[in-house]
Chain A
């Protein structure tokens, strides 16, 4: 089909599948409402189709166009059939127009900024081959292997006999990081199949579509809950972070992980705050995709859900369905985990090391290195602009004012995410290498997660202050 047409058609098909899956929640709505759920539909379809293919991979099925067509059709049919007996309400809210001239100008400028960045990013994506070698070294080759040979242990299981010496360095002939789930590899291979050849620019084209879907989904889910003069500038702050945009052309799976994890936790908050079953259903889809994206996805999901559970303890009755949905999301990875176990593919992060005082005490240099390197990336305004300072400052301001824990959730995502990755690096025999090579990407999911809550923090703070000023005038 060619580069642009191939990627566009794949994403249109995935969005169509997403719309079918969303059908029980959108039935009877206007065309405009359907259009406004375009980002949600895209991310739901893009999440679910490769996820189901990943679940089928251990059967040895070749995950090419035939399997894609069958799974996409089955999901679409299931969604349309579910319309008859499943009742979910997407509850699409309308946003009130800005009341002040300045608010209207701010919203207009921010909307322009978002559209401009996404548009330029889309064009740039199709002009850029991923700058990170992981993309062509193992993420995409794994997808091609699943297509051409099926899930063949010869390519995944680490074997010292399958190493070659080049100069002073050994290189493995099997895939490195074989522990990572398959979702991103499967999606990238589908892009190549639709394009018709191996064209690495399709990877960044796909990432550009994911970014568009991410912003569209976040805006749709927060639309009507957060005023436009706060929602749009906050999304612009998140989207325009230089490191976010840079990584969106790197080709690695950290941006998709960050996107799906952030949306999963946003939907968890939506479920807890609004008891929206639609939000809970979306939480399942996004959380399952995050778990299927990278090995650390499941750790980050559990950590962030634990934080949400602590800060939302007042709504503890709603936590049980949330954890049930989380368990179901993690369970979608069981076929992959079982295949890994059957073929002796260990996780690169060793729990034994992580819990061993003697191992950790012998590697304290990694603790120091982790604290410093990860801390530098986490707090770098040059890399992540104002996301971290704003999330912490707004959260603290709200907490000081209301003394309620939910205000601190975004700061906790950042702080505990930092601690998690320091600990992981400390316990990793190759931690020194990975800190240098990958630390800048480890912080991406917690920062994007904190960033997606900026509009919520801003809106709640604005309401708190406007409530006070009204009360003051009343006195």
Chain B
């Protein structure tokens, strides 16, 4: 497998390439950009990179409270912002399963109230409220 390159020369070449790689990795500016991107110098957390700046800890706290049951249903109550709603639905599908989302609060046993103008939408009443973040609540509803 090894060709005519002597072992010392091969080791020297590999050493040189290693030094060069480290040099490029540590270089300022655009030179180090490819390695910086690939190695992700500024490490991410374990949470999704949401499009809207959701509070990831609040989502996980709510997930820990929701019952681990396919019968559990939840409703997302928030401001009328498309990106916020989109991300909350995705976060719910990721963390709240096996509970399923429903489109109407009257069908829900739980409400995730995420920085909404009111704690709950009209027509439902709280049985118990858990604060999981700043102006973020998980609310167990009273049965209708």
Chain A interface residues (CB < 8 Å from chain B): 3, 94-95, 97-101, 103-105, 107-109, 112-113, 116-117, 120-121, 123-124, 127-131, 133, 135-138, 140-141, 144-145, 148-149, 152, 154-155, 161-169, 171-173, 175, 197-201, 228, 242, 245-246, 249
Instruction: Say yes or no: A173-B103 contact (C-beta < 8 A), given A149-B98, A164-B85, A200-B46.
Output: yes
Tell me the bound Cα distance from A165 to B97 in angstroms: 21
Bound complex: CA A58 to CA B132 (Å): 36
CB of B82 within 8 A of chain A? yes
Residues of A within 8 A of B3 (CB): 97-101, 103-104, 107, 228
B94 & A112 in contact (Cβ 8 Å cutoff): no
Question: Could you tell me if A145 and B46 are in contact, using CB atoms closer than 8 angstroms?
Answer: no
Give 20 A-B contacts (CB < 8 Å), ordered by A residue.
Answer: A99-B3, A101-B5, A108-B10, A112-B13, A123-B39, A124-B39, A129-B44, A129-B45, A129-B48, A129-B49, A130-B48, A133-B51, A140-B94, A149-B98, A155-B93, A161-B103, A164-B103, A169-B82, A171-B89, A246-B37
Indicate which residue in B21, B46, B80, B102 contacts A201 across the interface (CB closer than 8 Å): B46
Secondary structure call for the A interface: helix
- Known contacts A124-B40, A200-B46; is-contact A171 B4 (Cβ 8 Å): no
Distance between A65 CB and nearest chain B CB, rounded to angstroms: 16
Q: Note all chain B residues with C-beta closer than 8 A to A116.
A: 17, 21
Chain A residue numbers with a CB within 8 Å of B51 are 133
Residue B70, interface by CB 8 Å: yes
> A145 and B21 in contact (CB under 8 A), knowing A171-B86, A173-B89?
no
* Complex contact B17–A109 (CB within 8 A): yes
In the bound complex, do residue B4 and residue A166 qualify as a contact, i.e. CB atoms below 8 Å apart? no
Decide if B44 touches A145 in the complex (CB within 8 Å).
no
Q: Does A162 contact B46, Cβ atoms closer than 8 Å?
A: no
Residues of A within 8 A of B144 (CB): none
**Interface residue from A124, A128, A168 paired with B82 (Cβ < 8 Å):** A168
Q: How far is the CA of A121 from the CA of B46 in the complex (A)?
A: 17
Interchain CA distance A107-B1 in the complex, whole Å: 10
Could you give, for residues 85-129 of chain B, a 1 whenever the CB lies within 8 Å of some chain A CB and a 0 otherwise?
111011101110110111100000000000000000000000000
With contacts A169-B85, A173-B89 taken as known, whether A131 is within 8 angstroms of B102 at the C-beta atoms is no
Min CB–CB distance A31 → chain B (angstroms): 16
A197, B93: Cβ atoms under 8 Å? no
- Distance of A465 Cα from B99 Cα, bound (Å): 65
Asked if B101 and A173 make an inter-chain contact with CB atoms under 8 angstroms apart, the answer reads yes
Bound-state CA distance A109–B98 (Å) is 51
What is the CB-to-nearest-CB distance from A294 to chain B, in angstroms, rounded to a whole number?
Answer: 19
Known interface pairs A104-B3, A108-B5, A173-B89. Does A199 touch B46 (Cβ–Cβ under 8 Å)? yes
Q: How far in angstroms is the closest Cβ of chain A from B14?
A: 6
Give the Cβ gap from B40 to chain A, nearest Cβ, in Å: 4
Residues of chain B within 8 A of A167, CB atoms compared: 80-82, 85
Beta-carbon nearest neighbor of B84 in chain A: A166
Known contacts A104-B3, A129-B47: A162-B39 contact under CB 8 Å = no
- Contacts A101-B5, A166-B80, A169-B85; A155 near B100 (Cβ below 8 A): yes
The listed residue (B18, B34, B70, B84) touching A242 by CB distance below 8 A is: B34
Q: Which residues of B contact A168 (CB under 8 A)?
A: 82
**Bound form: Cα–Cα A102–B115 in Å:** 65
Residues of A near B102 (CB, < 8 A) are 162, 173
For A130, what are the chain B residues with a Cβ–Cβ distance below 8 Å? 48-49
